[in-house]
A = this chain, B = another copy of it.
Amino acid sequence: MQSLYTVDVSRTPHETRLRVRYAETDQMGVVHHANYLIWMEVARVDWCEARGFQYRDMEREEGVFLAVVETSCRHLRPARFDDQICVRSVVEEANSRIAKFAYEIFRVTGQELLATGFTKHVYVNNQMQRSRLPEKYRELFGVGSSEPARTT
């Protein structure tokens, strides 16, 4: 059975702060929408660190990569150059095969919600073939041990 502790931690939103870069704006005078996906990625890496591991090490040491299979983003208000941004990220779904992160992106000043979105991921090896989340990371992602073992 999945421990309550694991559930709490992995499902608790993690907050990541960043500042809008000039290069992230476009001639509409606001942040170009593609950058929100990059901010979500920065937040995922930071989420991993907050859970106690480096995503970098998962790639380097385990040869396991978190490949993106779906992205979605709704834009409510534009972010602007130099804004302080907070990305709130949470794992919404996780098993040994997939992970889904959800995000809320705020402007720190005024706590205005700028965008919401999600990304879905599968684990792949360095040949981009489907793989599974290594055992040692499962509790961190909130993947319960009740999940039946399956052969790869």
The interface of chain A, by Cβ under 8 A from chain B, is 19, 21-23, 25-30, 32-35, 37-38, 41-42, 45, 54-56, 59, 65, 67-75, 78, 81-82, 126, 128
Contacting residues, chain B, for A21 (C-beta < 8 A): 38, 41-42, 45
Instruction: Report the nearest B residue to A119, measured CB to CB.
Output: B33
Please classify the interface of chain A as helix (H, G, I), strand (E, B), loop, or mixed, using the class held by over half of its residues: mixed
A67 nearest CB across to chain B (Å): 7
Are the CB atoms of B75 and A33 closer together than 8 Å?
no
CB-CB under 8 A from A23, the residues of chain B are: 26, 32, 34, 38, 41
Instruction: Determine whether the beta carbon of B72 is less than 8 Å from that of A71.
Output: yes
- For A76, the closest partner residue in chain B by CB is B69
